């Protein structure tokens, strides 16, 4: 479930938004995309409400798109459905306002995340951090995709 914010915190976040993000936040189109994604995968319960809140929180700058995606996975929705819901919302809600979101979250695409030591992480390290733990476990047995060298 996304973190809960007070009405005052939400009002302050909305007050500082650009017109583009305000339009996206209050848009009927945004609501239809979220509702459609949730309906398509039969997530019309409290999980659907959490997805809707999370979408708004991203547009208000209270949550990053990456945090939103993790929240969708954490709701207990089956992985293929969670992935598709997050993908649809990212594609039809967040992507059209990508530049405004990057500016709001101060995360330009060219800027690499920094470690505590101040060194840029490699893409492999970032992928390992983002991957589920099960995917990182050592594979047991022979690799069926590798050919033997003679």
**What domain count does the chain have?**
1
Rounded to two decimals, the pTM is 0.67
- Contacts of residue 123, defined as CB under 8 A and 6 or more positions apart, other chains included, come to none
Does 125 map to a domain?
A: no
Does 142 map to a domain?
A: no
Structure token digits, residue 121: 């992480």
User: What pLDDT sits at residue 138?
Assistant: 56
Distances, alpha carbon 2 to alpha carbons 16, 69, 96, 119, in Å: 21, 11, 23, 30
Buried b / exposed e across 128-138, counting CB within 10 Å, b at 16+? eeeeeeeeeee
Query: If you average pLDDT over residues 3-21, what whole number do you get?
Result: 88
Does 116 map to a domain?
A: no
Does 150 map to a domain?
A: no
Q: Is the pLDDT of residue 48 over 70?
A: yes
Does 56 map to a domain?
A: yes
- Supply the range of the domain harboring residue 92: 7-111
Q: Categorize the per-residue pLDDT at 125 as very low, low, confident or very high, splitting at 50, 70 and 90.
A: low
């Amino acid at each position: 479930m996304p973190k809960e914010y007070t009405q005052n915190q939400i009002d302050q976040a909305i007050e500082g938004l650009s017109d583009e993000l305000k339009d996206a936040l209050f848009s009927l189109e945004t609501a239809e995309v979220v509702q459609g994604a949730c309906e398509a995968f039969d997530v019309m319960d409290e999980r659907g409400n959490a997805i809707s809140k999370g979408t708004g929180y991203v547009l208000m700058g209270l949550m990053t798109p990456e945090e939103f995606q993790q929240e969708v996975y954490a709701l207990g929705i089956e992985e293929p459905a969670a992935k598709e819901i997050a993908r649809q919302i990212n594609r039809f809600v967040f992507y059209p306002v990508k530049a405004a979101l990057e500016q709001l979250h101060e995360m330009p695409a060219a800027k690499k995340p920094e470690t505590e030591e101040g060194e840029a992480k490699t893409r492999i390290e970032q992928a390992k951090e983002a991957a589920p733990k099960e995917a990182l476990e050592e594979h047991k047995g022979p690799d069926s995709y590798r050919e033997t060298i003679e």
